[in-house]
A and B are shown apart, each in its own frame.
Chain A
Amino acid sequence: MTSYHDADKKYNMFSGTAAAADKKRTFSISDDIVARNFQATAGSRMLEGYFPVFDSAVVSRMTAENSLIGTTNMDEFGFGMFSVSGTKIPKNPFDPERSCGGSCGGAACAASVLEDHVALGTSAGGSISSPAAFCGVFGLTPTFGRVSRYGQIDTVSSMGPVGIFASKSELLKKYLPVISGKDERDPTSTAQPELKIGKKKLRSVAVPKGVTDGVSDGVRKAFDDSVNMLKSMSVNVEYVDMPILRHAMPAHYILCATEATTNLAGYCGMRCGQRDGDLSLPFNDYFASFRSKYFGAETKLRIIIGTYATMGENRRTMYLRSLGVRKLAINSYNGIFKDHDAVLTPSMPYAAPKIADAVIMSSVDSYMASRFAAPPAFCGLPSVSVPCGYSDGLPVGMQFTACHWNEDVLLDAADLWERSFIVKAPEVSL
């Protein structure tokens, strides 16, 4: 079995590690999920020094039978698709010069490299599907409200449940029930219906028309081959119109930014994280000094946009309208789920880019990479990204999205797919 300390030296997936695992089965959490004795920074220098005094709900549920071995690297506060904006950059197991995807890149990397490891991560806009695709593992994003978010450092609060990365689909099936369930400490988790597993079969998928327009050749080929393979497995495939997806992207961006603006407002050099400021300053200047120094460029940009979107009249034209778009998008999905079990798209428009290229990529280009992965998260829908091909040796993923609370059909899809598709492990030499 690969030592996780050695793996970390090579791939830089952990932001913090336990000295040793005392149980056979191991799990990790992304750096925005809190656990006692682990620093939790959500990938931001702002929170360096924050050691939570409580365990998150998922950690409490997992530790009975599994050892928590570490926290994994991610984009700062989840802002990014390549895990290059956080405190440390994880390296792709298939090519260490390439990105792991984001924002939970470290988690996907750990699931890919460590045997039978369960990596928990969070997703408010594709942060599970993106790295799962780039690192060639399964990534399950449950319905918003399925898993208690108690102990999750919020950037976005109306999206982004805790999900699971694993190299085998059976691990998703095994651990989803462990982390799911009502928790009165998170009121959004208390309305969920019972989680049923093994009842629903994947029979029919809808593919949005033109979904492979503008994607890389490697992704198009892998996706088209996979669609054909699904057909041969007697899954019905139909191409559908989903024009709302175009509007979902800007609306998603605005909602993420506005919620993030308020969630990050408390970080100011008081109470937790960085606190080594000049106490002689007036409080506004004191706060500003920390926020200028410790927030990264992307975080600052989102805060500015989020503030702008709620100022004066913008509140109506941007913030409230985005909430309206979310309703329309949910309706559009629900219309499709009347006739189909899932919507199928590629997970990402291309395979993992070089880290050097991702670092200099514009904010908009980076965000547009989430155009398949973000809309389900925006609508609170569950999805699963599965490995579906290899382009020049790099993994490509596709994403099934199901109706609210219908994780069952996604687990069946992952299971069905894994039985026919040969998932390659990276060649890890330590």
Chain B
Amino acid sequence: MRIGLEIHVQLPTRSKMFCSCPATGAEGPNEHICPGCMGMPGTRPSLNRAAVETGIKIARLLNCTVPDVAWFSRKVYYYPDICRHYQITQYETPIGSKGVYYLGDKPIRITRAHLEEDPGSMRISGNNALIDYNRSGMPLVEIVTEPDISSPAEAREFLKALLRDIRHVTDLPDDGERSIRADCNISVGTERCEVKNVTGLKNVERALTYEAVRQTKVIRSGGKIVRETRHYDEERKVTTSARKKEFESDYAYIGEPHLGMINVKKIADSVVTKESPHDMILRFRNELGVDEKIAAQIVGTSVEMAKLFENLVKIVGTESSLKWVTGPISANWKALEKNVSEKTGPLTDVIAMHAKGKINDVECSIRIKELITGEDRKTTERAADDLDVIIRKAIEDNPSVVGDYKKSDKAANRIIGAVMKSTGGVFSSSDIVEATKRILNDMIK
């Protein structure tokens, strides 16, 4: 089975690709529009540099060749939601070409990655077709793979990993899997079919699975697969024949004269690329000796968490870092994620204390939780009250302590020992020591 994908991902720019309309936050239809993204006669596009920069980051992630000079083309087709009846896209000079993406150790060849604008969107309402141009002119990257994917499940795996990496290198917010659209080419035998415009990872896998089964049945019963475009029906979970396959030359591409030549090299020289999550996993394996699956788990949870892990390794070594990162830190990551930068220092201190043997496992674990969640801070405060109650109770049970404490500090140790024993590591030893001394001091005043 051979599967190739054409993936559309919206780029995280503040404004649209060729005008200054905002790219996000429209509350109603046709709110973020201007004469430019409506295609009004007399307007012309001017290129958003951020779109090119993001394209370069993605091209590098995919190990693609980035051209020194590029231009845009017009792809002509007639449809109500495309305001000029041509889409501004890249044809001869994609922002990335001939790359490869590694899914684990498996190479998936990348044919090209090119920049283009999204058309508007159309909704059918009774007898009317309603057009919303908010989406018109939004920057997209289209990534085309070679047919190197060998199962629907692998296609999903691939998209998941790719999206994770793209989000990381472009700082694209995670707004659910529906932000990805894919055209899926699949052939079980010799001829392929294309399932157009499938939204979301789950649907890609489902559409491909359905199509694989369908094609297998046709071939087994002696039939022939006709090259065609198919449509995936999300409700019924089936693919249906849409229209005859259009070939590229039908689109009558011509150069977009409004934008001229773009000096990509100059822009590329100023673009700093972040290490991709995939490369990070390999580095953890090769340099830190972390098992690849575990490395993938850490990086997969969050690249920020992986960075925290790296910092810890420098101070307490790989083994200890793994213990705490895959344990309490990973379990409470959702809460930590929001303010990881301010908490990295205190967390490192706690784990370093544990490494030096100053606190035990249970205490370290509790302190990490305390540090991470604001809620826990409340619990901690409540726990502090509880601790006071427990200590007072212990003093009531040993009333002679108060008198002994007047003579010698050491008498406090009887209470401290008792409380530590009865609370079984819920409170840190330093907290117990501090609270016991505070209460006894109050009592002897």
Q: Give A residues with C-beta under 8 Å from B.
A: 33-34, 40, 42, 47, 50, 52-54, 56, 149-154, 157-158, 184-188, 191, 258-259, 261-262, 265-266, 268, 270-273, 280, 283-284, 287, 307, 310-312, 315, 319, 323
Contact between A315 and B46, CB atoms less than 8 A apart: no
A262–chain B nearest beta-carbon distance, Å: 5
Contact between A186 and B42, CB atoms less than 8 A apart: no
Q: Report the separation of the CA atoms of residues A259 and B258 in the bound assembly, to the nearest whole angstrom.
A: 11
Contact of B78 among A154, A273, A287, A310 (CB under 8 A): A287
Chain A to chain B: the 9 pairs with minimum beta-carbon distance, closest first: A265-B85, A158-B257, A310-B252, A157-B257, A34-B42, A266-B84, A153-B41, A151-B42, A312-B249
Chain A residues near B254 (CB, 8 Å)? Answer: 258-259, 262, 310, 319
Contact between A56 and B42, CB atoms less than 8 A apart: yes
Q: Report the separation of the CA atoms of residues A118 and B86 in the bound assembly, to the nearest whole angstrom.
A: 35
Q: Report the separation of the CA atoms of residues A312 and B253 in the bound assembly, to the nearest whole angstrom.
A: 10
Contact of A315 among B42, B43, B253 (CB under 8 A): B253
Which of A34, A54, A185, A271 counts the most chain B CB atoms within 10 A?
A271
Determine if B38 is an interface residue (Cβ-Cβ < 8 Å): yes
Contact between A52 and B42, CB atoms less than 8 A apart: yes
- With A187-B258, A310-B254: A262-B86 Cβ-Cβ less than 8 Å: yes
Nearest B-chain residue to A186, judged by Cβ: B44
- With A185-B44, A262-B86: A271-B257 Cβ-Cβ less than 8 Å: no
- With A187-B258, A187-B259: A315-B252 Cβ-Cβ less than 8 Å: yes
Chain B residues near A310 (CB, 8 Å)? Answer: 252-254
Q: How many residues of B contact A (CB 8 A)?
A: 32
Q: Report the separation of the CA atoms of residues A157 and B71 in the bound assembly, to the nearest whole angstrom.
A: 15
Contact between B85 and A188, CB atoms less than 8 A apart: no
- Identify 5 new A-B residue pairs, CB closer than 8 A, beyond the known A157-B44, A287-B78: A53-B35, A149-B44, A262-B84, A271-B38, A272-B41
Q: Report the separation of the CA atoms of residues A315 and B44 in the bound assembly, to the nearest whole angstrom.
A: 24
Q: Report the separation of the CA atoms of residues A261 and B78 in the bound assembly, to the nearest whole angstrom.
A: 12
Contact between A311 and B41, CB atoms less than 8 A apart: no
Nearest B-chain residue to A266, judged by Cβ: B84
Nearest B-chain residue to A312, judged by Cβ: B249
Which of A158, A191, A262 counts the most chain B CB atoms within 10 A?
A262
A396–chain B nearest beta-carbon distance, Å: 33
Contact between B46 and A187, CB atoms less than 8 A apart: yes
Q: Report the separation of the CA atoms of residues A40 and B35 in the bound assembly, to the nearest whole angstrom.
A: 14
Chain B residues near A187 (CB, 8 Å)? Answer: 44-47, 258-260
B:9-68 near A, CB below 8 Å: 35, 38-47
Q: Report the separation of the CA atoms of residues A188 and B258 in the bound assembly, to the nearest whole angstrom.
A: 6
Q: Report the separation of the CA atoms of residues A158 and B73 in the bound assembly, to the nearest whole angstrom.
A: 13
Contact between A188 and B257, CB atoms less than 8 A apart: yes
Q: Do most interface residues of chain A lie in helix, strand or loop, or is the interface mixed? A: loop
- With A265-B76, A268-B78: A50-B84 Cβ-Cβ less than 8 Å: no
Q: Report the separation of the CA atoms of residues A184 and B47 in the bound assembly, to the nearest whole angstrom.
A: 10
A264–chain B nearest beta-carbon distance, Å: 9
11 A–B pairs (Cβ distance < 8 Å), ordered by A: A52-B35, A52-B41, A54-B35, A153-B41, A158-B255, A184-B46, A186-B46, A187-B45, A191-B260, A261-B76, A262-B252
Contact between A262 and B74, CB atoms less than 8 A apart: yes
Contact between A311 and B44, CB atoms less than 8 A apart: no
Q: Report the separation of the CA atoms of residues A272 and B255 in the bound assembly, to the nearest whole angstrom.
A: 25
Chain B residues near A284 (CB, 8 Å)? Answer: 78
Contact between B252 and A272, CB atoms less than 8 A apart: no
Determine if B129 is an interface residue (Cβ-Cβ < 8 Å): yes
Flag B90-120 by CB within 8 Å of A: 1 or 0 each: 0000000000000000000000000000000
Q: Report the separation of the CA atoms of residues A271 and B35 in the bound assembly, to the nearest whole angstrom.
A: 10
- With A265-B85, A266-B85: A157-B38 Cβ-Cβ less than 8 Å: no
Contact of A268 among B85, B127, B253 (CB under 8 A): B85
Q: Report the separation of the CA atoms of residues A153 and B253 in the bound assembly, to the nearest whole angstrom.
A: 21
Contact between A54 and B38, CB atoms less than 8 A apart: no
B:392-444 near A, CB below 8 Å: none
Nearest A-chain residue to B80, judged by Cβ: A283
- With A259-B257, A271-B38: A266-B252 Cβ-Cβ less than 8 Å: no
A15–chain B nearest beta-carbon distance, Å: 15
Contact between A265 and B258, CB atoms less than 8 A apart: no
Chain A residues near B260 (CB, 8 Å)? Answer: 187-188, 191
Determine if B296 is an interface residue (Cβ-Cβ < 8 Å): no
Nearest A-chain residue to B254, judged by Cβ: A258
Nearest B-chain residue to A53, judged by Cβ: B35
A400–chain B nearest beta-carbon distance, Å: 26
Q: Report the separation of the CA atoms of residues A157 and B43 in the bound assembly, to the nearest whole angstrom.
A: 12
Chain A residues near B83 (CB, 8 Å)? Answer: 266, 271
Chain B residues near A307 (CB, 8 Å)? Answer: 252
Q: Report the separation of the CA atoms of residues A185 and B83 in the bound assembly, to the nearest whole angstrom.
A: 19
B95–chain A nearest beta-carbon distance, Å: 17
Contact between B249 and A315, CB atoms less than 8 A apart: yes
Nearest A-chain residue to B129, judged by Cβ: A283
Contact between B78 and A47, CB atoms less than 8 A apart: no
Chain A residues near B257 (CB, 8 Å)? Answer: 157-158, 188, 259
Chain B residues near A150 (CB, 8 Å)? Answer: 42-44
A328–chain B nearest beta-carbon distance, Å: 17
Chain B residues near A54 (CB, 8 Å)? Answer: 35, 42-43
A283–chain B nearest beta-carbon distance, Å: 5
Chain B residues near A34 (CB, 8 Å)? Answer: 41-42
B:125-145 near A, CB below 8 Å: 127, 129
Contact between B86 and A265, CB atoms less than 8 A apart: yes
B17–chain A nearest beta-carbon distance, Å: 13
Nearest B-chain residue to A264, judged by Cβ: B85
Q: Report the separation of the CA atoms of residues A186 and B36 in the bound assembly, to the nearest whole angstrom.
A: 12
